[in-house]
Structure 1
Amino acid sequence: MSESAPTNIESGDNVRSLQRGLRLLQAMNRFPHASVTQLAQRAEIPRSTAYRLLETLASLGFVRTSSGEGYRLTRAVRTLSDGFIDDGWIEPAWQEMLRLGREIVWPLSLLTPEAGTMVVRRATHEFSALSIDYGMVGRRMPMTEVASGRIYLAYCTPEERRLIMALPDAYANRAVPVDTTLLDERLAAIRVRGYDTRVGGVVEKTGGLGVPIFNDDRVIGVLSLIFIASSLDVARVVAQYEAPLKQTAARISAEAVRLMDAPSKVT
């Protein structure tokens, strides 16, 4: 006897509830101090549904309630991602980020290109007393509007850059019209100085200083330092942190080359 196919899965309430629950978890990750009403708005679900889902998640141990604080994520949410296997060079990069983060205190992000955007792969915000951002991992950034994206565009091949820039704005998450002449000038400057900066923009109240990570002559990612824009000016950030960022990026690059060039073991 063949196993019967599940019913009411593809288009029923089960799938809709799962989608809403995942959006709610994402909202809690991004906005840990938000109220239930705010979480419902972020997840684009009714407030009553948010309450029901939060109670279900609490019964499963993924969230907790605290007097005066509402609902908060628990460490159990980490079990949802522990099985994810990242690119081989990401884990050594993470260890370098933790080391540098302890030294400079400001939070760091590691971003790589994906589908015409820059995606935050790792971030040390939770370990930094100076962080004002939460839930950054997995967030997609428009390449032309952040330092990491402009760095990638500066060092990728002209053909790849042309294809990325030809993507529709909605697909590439671009919200600001691109002046190609100014962009080309900025990309040329990045190739000379080896870094780029951002103040405000897609992530309000913060600034960033980014440097490239290479595998030989191919850019594979960007290491960025995130600072509170109102507390430091860009010139001071560059003067104080350009060197340690580039040194760390160089170590990550060397390890990436070693790992990517190593022959895979056949068992």
Structure 2
Amino acid sequence: MAAETSLEKGLAILEAMNHQGPMRLRDIHARTGYSKPTIVRILQVLESRGYVTRLERNAGYCLSSRVLALSDGYNTVSRLVEAAAPPLDAFTERALWPAAMAVLDYDHMVVRYSTISRSPLSHKHSTMSRRLSMLHRAHGRAYLAFCPEEERERLFARLDKAGRDFVEPYIELYRRQGWAERDPATEPQTNSIAVPVLCRTGRVAATVGITFFRSALGEDAKARMAEDLKVTAQDMLERLRAMPPAASSSERSEREGREELPGPQDIA
């Protein structure tokens, strides 16, 4: 059997990134089995041609919007990461605290981008791909509070009744103030707040949030951070609107049994 060509290896790396989203060098190595020098060489070519974006501070690589010229493999999560990275990076440059963007995956929120590597105040090494509770975490609560009522009912149906009874009383508060907060009993030394990235149609494309030491921010400072997060979410939304149209994710979502992520028709 003939050895794989550089083109075949490049396509395999693109396929791996299309399947998983943003990846670090070690993740690509684990998935493809290629040597790290080979991966670096191929990524450099893809980056120079505009098909891959290198995320700052060793956060990895993600597909760029140019892959739309090749196929529909540039999926919704990749679009969200590309739109989220610059405003979240800028937020952490200003505020120093680590920020993250999360998207819905059935009955959890999943972190798809994080600025932990850029923050001098991070208390964790990484949260990439971490699954977050809809009931106890700020990202999940923000999604529940701001998604359309019909979708909220579907999500509550996936959770037990005790969970619904636990979080439902907070929904109106979060909607009124424009942001959600983590359950104080969850990792009590730190706290998180999150805001929605709201589409034109009222759907939630993603949530963006920050984590900080609970003793570091009083109520007024926390509210100011939330207002800054709202501006960051709007910046992300404007970047999404400026991107070229992408194929709908509905067929893939139906096949995987997941809630369809908002598409360009929701955002435009």
Name the TM tier (shorter chain): 0.5 to 0.7
Structure 1 residue 200 displacement after superposition: 4.6
| Helix, strand or coil at the partner of 2:215 | coil
Structure 1 residue 93 displacement after superposition: 1.2
Are positions 1:133 and 2:124 aligned together?
Answer: yes
C-alpha contact 1:148 1:196 (8 A) present in aligned 2: yes
Structure 1 residue 231 displacement after superposition: 2.7
More divergent stretch after superposition (103-112 vs 246-255): 246-255
| Helix, strand or coil at the partner of 2:163 | coil
Aligned to 1:16: none
Aligned to 2:210: 225
Pairing of 1:1-267 with structure 2 (within 5 A): 82=61, 86-167=77-158, 177-178=162-163, 180=165, 183-198=167-182, 200-203=184-187, 205-216=189-200, 217-233=202-218, 235-259=219-243, 262-264=244-246
- For 1:114 and 1:206, the matched residues in 2 are separated by 24
C-alpha contact 1:209 1:237 (8 A) present in aligned 2: no
- For 1:119 and 1:141, the matched residues in 2 are separated by 6
| Helix, strand or coil at the partner of 2:125 | coil
Runs of 4+ in 1 over 3 A off after TM superposition: 81-86, 199-204, 262-265
Greater helix share, structure number: 2
Pair member with larger Rg: 1
C-alpha contact 1:199 1:229 (8 A) present in aligned 2: no
Q: For structure 2, which runs of at least 5 residues remain unmatched after alignment?
A: 2-25, 28-32, 38-57, 64-73, 248-268
Structure 1 residue 87 displacement after superposition: 2.4
| Helix, strand or coil at the partner of 1:178 | helix
The TM-score, its normalising length taken from structure 1, stands at: 0.60
Structure 1 residue 232 displacement after superposition: 2.7
| Helix, strand or coil at the partner of 2:193 | strand
Structure 1 residue 121 displacement after superposition: 0.7
Q: Letter of the 1:160 partner, please give it.
A: E
Structure 1 residue 118 displacement after superposition: 0.5
Identity of aligned residues (%): 24
Q: For structure 1, which runs of at least 5 residues remain unmatched after alignment?
A: 4-27, 30-56, 62-77, 170-175
Q: Letter of the 2:141 partner, please give it.
A: R
1:264–1:158 distance in 2 versus 1, CA, 3 Å:
closer
The TM-score, its normalising length taken from structure 2, stands at: 0.60
Residue deviations 1:89-123 (CA, integer Å, cap 9, x gap): 32121111111110110110111111210101111
- For 2:172 and 2:159, the matched residues in 1 are separated by 24
Residue deviations 1:213-262 (CA, integer Å, cap 9, x gap): 122122111110110123333x1332331221111111112222333xx4
C-alpha contact 1:154 1:190 (8 A) present in aligned 2: yes
1:91–1:243 distance in 2 versus 1, CA, 3 Å:
same
Aligned to 1:53: none
> Aligned-pair RMSD on alpha carbons?
3.3
C-alpha contact 2:107 2:159 (8 A) present in aligned 1: no
Matched residues, number: 185
